[in-house]
Amino acid sequence: MNLNTLTTETANPLSKNMSAMTVFDTIKLFNQEDYKAVKCIESQYLQIEKVINLTINALKKDGRIIYIGAGTSGRLGVLEAVECPPTFGVAYDKVVGLVAGGDSAFKIPKEDMEDSKEAIIKELKQLDLNSNDMVIGIAASGLTKYVISGIKYAQKVGSSNAAIVCNFNSEIKKICANTIEIVPGPELLTGSTRLKAATATKMVLNMISTISMTQIGKVYQNYMVDVQLSNQKLVQRGINIVSAVTGCNEEVAKKVLKEAHNSVKTAIVMILYNLDYITAKKSLEKSAGKIEQISL
């Protein structure tokens, strides 16, 4: 394994004297470098679009999004997975995050597990991975064996597959045509890909989940209309969304939300189209959950 060829392992000349820099100057340097995490995504728009379209197709076939990764990359996938159900109202098994070493590795690193080719295959078999699913490998280095093995297994069973890496011409790119290459440059702390690489990766993950969920009707205008009203803050958010979208006052929003069994989307349809709960539900079912496509 020749790490010297990887951008993520290269020393950054701008931080050569970081250990002797003042706190203020180091903060300024960090912020300047983080702009590169944003900029590097621009060259990958078409590839990101391709991956999102594959993800949308998987969701429309009732498939799952399955993120796989090791270390920081794996934890980012788990974070993305656990945030989708409360945000978009999907089932907890609809978006899955697998990190090398298992769930406990989210808190206690098991760095040696990134070299396991067998563990990910076992985990994907336990999930009963199938051709309807979308597997997205996350690996800053682009050479993580756990991820490469998982992508190869996904290809074997016919699952759609993609990858997010932070080096050009990686080992993963060689076996996965749908690889997004976001390369923000050498880290200020040499080799610490929890910095710029992780920031850029998280931004791409945000795009994949949010845009995919939007395209299958989990978003209306720019509101999360399938948000789960599971606490006081989210209940108020639901009321605010219904009011903002329909133009009704807060009291009407509260009343209709109660009639809609706390479904923000259904409440919106009830008000916009002057429908009762049952009719609004049926209308949404016919339009595959998309408010824009409801026709009465």
> How large is the greatest C-alpha to C-alpha distance in the chain, in angstroms?
69
Q: Which of 89, 88, 91, 97 is nearest to 65 (CA)?
A: 97
Assess whether 251 carries a catalytic annotation: no
Single out the catalytic residue among 33, 80, 114, 187.
Answer: 114
Q: What are phi and psi of 90, to 5 degrees?
A: -85, 160
| 65-69 sheet: strands from edge to edge | 95-99, 65-69, 134-139, 160-165, 179-181
How far apart, in whole angstroms, are the C-alpha atoms of residue 255 and residue 170?
55
Assess whether 33 carries a catalytic annotation: no
CB 252 within 8 A of CB 178: no
CB 268 within 8 A of CB 280: no
CB 157 within 8 A of CB 130: yes
Counting DSSP H helices and E strands in the chain, the numbers are: 11, 5
Q: Which of 86, 83, 85, 104 is nearest to 94 (CA)?
A: 85
Q: Do the bridges between strand 179-181 and strand 65-69 make them parallel or antiparallel, or are there none, so unpaired?
A: unpaired
Q: Do the bridges between strand 134-139 and strand 160-165 make them parallel or antiparallel, or are there none, so unpaired?
A: parallel
Report the run of H or E that residue 162 belongs to, with start and end: strand 160-165
Q: Which residues are catalytic?
A: 83, 114
